[in-house]
């Protein structure tokens, strides 16, 4: 992971796993569609939030049963999706 002087901890080109915390309503969420210098809007406040932590994506084997790897990515809240005008991840 590169640490740069951007808006997010990660400054590379790949997608990462990001942890988010809204400063207004204190809602927390995670996303496997987290990018350098891109935020996601909080569902409650409609505030753009940048990830506080980003880690490399790992293969799904070994995940516990509480994690839904098929979870829908809310494109209308994702800054990268809006910029691209399409889904920011890979289609299966």
Could you read off the pLDDT of 8-28 as tens digits, one per residue? 999 999 999 999 999 999 999
Residue 16, beta-bridge partner list? 34, 56
Alpha carbons 92 and 61: distance in angstroms, whole number: 17
Tell me how far apart the alpha carbons of residues 34 and 12 are, in angstroms, rounded to a whole number.
Answer: 11
Residue 36's CB: how many other CB atoms inside 10 A?
A: 20
Which pTM value belongs to this model? 0.80
Give tens-digit pLDDT for 66-91: 555 567 899 999 999 999 999 998 76
DSSP state of 90: -
**Is the CB of residue 6 less than 8 Å from the CB of residue 61?**
no
Q: How far apart are the first and last CA of the chain?
A: 26
pLDDT for 90: 75
- pLDDT at position 92 over 70: no
Compute the distance between CA of residue 38 and CA of residue 16 in angstroms, rounded to an integer: 11
- Please write the tens of the pLDDT for every residue from 55-66: 999 876 655 555
């Amino acid at each position: 992971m590169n640490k740069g002087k951007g808006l997010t901890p990660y400054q590379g080109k790949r997608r990462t796993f990001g942890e988010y915390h809204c400063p207004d309503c204190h809602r927390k969420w995670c996303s496997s569609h987290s990018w350098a210098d891109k935020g996601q809007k909080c569902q409650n406040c409609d505030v753009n939030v940048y990830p506080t932590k980003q880690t490399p994506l790992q293969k799904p084997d070994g995940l516990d049963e509480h994690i839904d790897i098929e979870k829908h990515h809310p494109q209308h809240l994702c800054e990268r999706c809006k910029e691209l005008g399409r889904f920011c991840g890979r289609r299966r």
